[in-house]
Amino acid sequence: MIDVSLKFLADEANAYLQRRLDSDFGKIELGPLVDDKGSWVATQNTLRLTLFQIEEERHARTQIPQQVLVNGHNVALPPPLAINLVILFSASFTTYTEGLRLLSLLLTFFQSHPLFTPAEHPGMPAGVDRLALELINYGPEQANQMWACLGAKHLPSVVYRVRMLFLQDQEPSGTGAPVREIHTRTGQR
């Protein structure tokens, strides 16, 4: 779910950039900035979309299993996990001003499209009801900590929070026949 959601956002932003630039220059790529040895892996002259953090959306938290009816049987599914994704778009360009120009276009795109729903974007991944993007303002200390966590040198960048994905295991935690009748005793003690 995380992978297809981020790929969807990259594809939508790429389509916008291609319309605005009329070329593939500055394409958004999904992936890490550096490998596990600290070597740079981001392609030059691209915007890189990197997952920085996964956060639980605590106000949507539930511990109650979800009850669904499947083929005439009551099935208990584990409760869904609501998460937010903190994502980083970084510009790696030989020309500094070109990277800033593409970041500006990206900011413009997400400012005009802060919410993605299947009704407006039929290409959304199955099972994703909505993706809402929120610009995050990191101060110098937070930005420094983020780049240190990533193991990369600071680049022109922007950070967004993507709200809210639901992850749910589809393997039943229990099954049973559905309740068809309820008998009550009245007048007896």
Predicted confidence band of residue 100 (pLDDT cuts 50, 70, 90): very high
Could you tell me which residues are beta bridge partners of residue 85?
54, 162
pLDDT recorded at residue 9: 96
Average pLDDT, the chain: 84
pLDDT recorded at residue 25: 63
Q: Which CATH architecture has domain 2-167?
A: 2-Layer Sandwich (3.30)
For residues 85 and 2, is the Cβ–Cβ distance under 8 A? Answer: yes
Considering the entire predicted model, what is its pTM?
A: 0.80
- pLDDT digits over 110-166, tens only? 999 999 999 999 999 988 889 999 999 999 999 999 999 999 889 999 999 999 777
- pLDDT digits over 11-33, tens only? 999 999 999 887 666 689 999 99
